[in-house]
Amino acid sequence: MSSGTSIRVGADLVMVDQVADSIACFGDRYLRRVYTDHEIDSCGGAPSVASAGLAARFAAKEAALKVLRPTGHRPQWRSIEVRRHDGGWCTMSLSGYAAELATQAGLGELAVSLTHEEGIAAAVVVALCQDDPGCEDHVGDLVFESAGGL
Amino acid sequence: MDEKIRTILTEHGRFPIDVATIGDDEDLFAAGMTSHASVNVMLALEEEFDMEFPESMLNKGTFESVTAIRTALAGLTAS
């Protein structure tokens, strides 16, 4: 088995109305268990707009998990954060066990893209993985691999 | 306890099939429960049994079957 540099990709989608239902049913307990203060603050406005933003962030957390590939204990939801920048683009910030998993896997920065339309929110997370022991073969120094489906 | 667990799974698990047809040891995620639905199941279990799952138990294994949920709850409500 050889090692090299690979790309890990994770994608996920979440139905916006399911997030709205969770907020209606569990309120702050749901929000504070899953999202960081920054994520909640980033998703203000009308409830339907807030739910769409939060659904996209949940999808991003799931997509990041597909990149991090935990085999047992899962990182806390709040340790995988979507940071929204003033220009409107987003990046991912990891802390705690999620950051440990990224370090162990030799992952660089996690890039993220969010979208929502017609009641569905989706996210894609991509990261470069250095010296990936799971890299079976490679073209040059680069291998493309997909981690999980929708 | 099992009846309450199954009621919560029915109300919050968003399964595409009747929860009654899922065996005690059957994988709930394979049966159609999404990760987001499992968060709702977790919160509903905490409400019903007046407890809180510690972060160390927040993994798929804790919620992967009726038996696993029952075992986790038994350990938490006994302590």
CATH of the domain at A133: 3.90.470.20
User: Which residues in chain A (56-95) have CB-CB distances under 8 A to chain B?
Assistant: 58, 62, 70, 72-74, 76-77
Percent of chain B with pLDDT over 70: 99
> Scanning every residue of chain B, which has its alpha carbon at the shortest distance from the alpha carbon of A32?
B43
> Binning pLDDT at 50, 70 and 90, where does residue B56 land?
confident
How many domains are there within chain A? 1
Residue B3: count of CB within 10 angstroms of its CB? 7
Half-sphere exposure of B45 (CA within 13 A, CB side): 30
Q: What is the pLDDT of residue A5?
A: 85
Q: Report helix, strand or coil for A90.
A: strand
Q: What is the pLDDT of residue A3?
A: 59
Q: What is the pLDDT of residue A132?
A: 61
Q: What is the pLDDT of residue A68?
A: 95
Q: Tell me the per-residue pLDDT of A66-76, one tens digit each, with 9 for 90 and over.
A: 999 998 788 98
Q: What is the span of the domain harbouring residue A80?
A: 4-146
Q: Tell me the per-residue pLDDT of A133-142, one tens digit each, with 9 for 90 and over.
A: 654 444 344 4
Q: What is the pLDDT of residue A91?
A: 96
Query: At A75, phi and psi to the nearest 5?
Result: -60, 155
Return the residue matching tokens 């939801």: A77
Q: What is the span of the domain harbouring residue B35?
A: 2-78
- DSSP classification of residue B55: G
Higher pLDDT, A83 or A1: A83
Q: What is the largest CA-CA distance in chain B?
A: 35
- Structural tokens at position A145: 């691999």
Q: What is the pLDDT of residue B61?
A: 81
Q: Give this prediction's pTM.
A: 0.85
Contact yes or no for B37 and A18 at CB 8 A: yes
Q: Which positions in chain A touch B8 (Cβ < 8 Å)?
A: none
Determine which of A81-85, A132-136, A145-149, B50-54 has the lowest per-residue pLDDT on average. A145-149
How many domains are there within chain B? 1
> What is the C-alpha separation between A57 and A121, in angstroms, rounded?
8
pLDDT at B76 over 70: yes
Best of A16, A23, A26 to disrupt the B interface (most B CBs within 10 Å) is A26
> What is the C-alpha separation between A101 and A49, in angstroms, rounded?
32
Determine the Cα angle at A136 with ends A130 and A142, to 5°: 45
> Scanning every residue of chain B, which has its alpha carbon at the shortest distance from the alpha carbon of A78?
B55
> Scanning every residue of chain A, which has its alpha carbon at the shortest distance from the alpha carbon of B34?
A14
The arithmetic mean of pLDDT across residues A20-39, rounded, is 94
ipTM: 0.85
The CATH number linked to B32 is: 1.10.1200.10
